[in-house]
């Protein structure tokens, strides 16, 4: 008789946002390093627990991997905006070498989302659930703005 424990799959992994995040991260994997990896392992760099965050210095420059993760996050948000409204959403990330900058997601001629970024070298969330919640907030703001100005978004 086998007493193998069944590990329950976290339902957050079945959400559209998390699936898109995994897609975005796999797109960054040019050498196939993520082949065979679970979604949890692929998205692990986004999870910054208090212990992990304490190990990162307060002042620092973001590395290329961190910058790629920031772009992947906002690309995923843009894809969800596209799915929701049916119009092309384009994310634009502009950062200084010190990790300060801005993200704009445009739909047509409309700026659907505008975010200021600070301390990008510490970019992350307490959990995947918190990451999804933050993305949902951004999605709600962007869809609301597109609904308010549909003519501009359609240009």
For residue 20, what is the domain's CATH number?
1.10.3100.20
For residue 132, give its domain range: 12-153
In a domain, 1, yes or no: no
Residue 7 in any domain: the answer is: no
- Determine the Cα–Cα distance for residues 90 and 45; give it in Å rounded to an integer: 24
For residue 18, the model assigns a pLDDT of: 95
Average confidence (pLDDT) over 123-139: 96
**Residues 103 and 67 sit within 8 Å (Cβ to Cβ):** no
Q: Which of 28-32, 55-59, 108-112, 148-152 has the lowest mean pLDDT?
A: 55-59
Q: Which pLDDT belongs to residue 107?
A: 97
- Classify residue 5: in a domain, yes or no: no
User: What's the predicted TM-score (pTM) here?
Assistant: 0.90
Share of the chain above pLDDT 70, in %: 95
Number of domains in the chain: 1
- 31 burial (CB, 10 Å; 0-12 / 13-18 / 19+) is exposed
In a domain, 70, yes or no: yes
- Does residue 113 lie within any of the structural domains? yes
Classify residue 4: in a domain, yes or no. no
Residue 5 has pLDDT above 80, yes or no: no
Task: For 35-82, give the secondary structure using H, E and C.
Answer: CCCCHHHHHHHHECCHHHHHHCCCCCCCCHHHHHHHHHHHHHHHHHHH
**In this predicted structure, what is the pLDDT of residue 1?**
47
Enter the tokens of residue 103.
């993200």
Asked if the structure places residue 46 within a domain, the reply is yes
Helix axes 64-85, 16-28, angle to 10 degrees: 140
Query: Residue 3 domain-assigned?
Result: no
Spatial separation of the C-alpha atoms in residues 108 and 105, rounded to whole Å = 10
Calculate the average pLDDT of the chain: 91
State the pLDDT confidence band at 9, using cuts at 50, 70 and 90: confident
Residue 6 has a pLDDT of 56
């Amino acid at each position: 008789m086998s007493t193998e424990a069944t590990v329950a799959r976290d339902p957050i992994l079945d959400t559209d946002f998390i699936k898109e995040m995994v897609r975005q991260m796999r797109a960054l994997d040019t050498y196939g390093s993520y082949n065979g990896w679970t979604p949890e392992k692929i998205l692990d760099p986004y999870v910054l627990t208090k212990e992990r965050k304490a190990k990162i210095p307060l002042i620092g420059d973001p590395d290329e991997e961190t910058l790629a993760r920031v772009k992947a996050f906002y690309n995923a948000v843009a894809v969800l905006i596209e799915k929701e409204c049916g119009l092309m959403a384009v994310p634009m990330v502009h950062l200084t070498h010190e990790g300060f900058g801005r993200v704009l997601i445009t739909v047509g001629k409309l700026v659907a989302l505008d975010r200021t970024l600070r301390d990008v070298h510490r970019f992350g969330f307490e959990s995947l659930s918190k990451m999804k919640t933050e993305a949902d907030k951004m999605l709600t703001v962007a869809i609301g703005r597109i609904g308010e100005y549909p003519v501009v978004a359609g240009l």
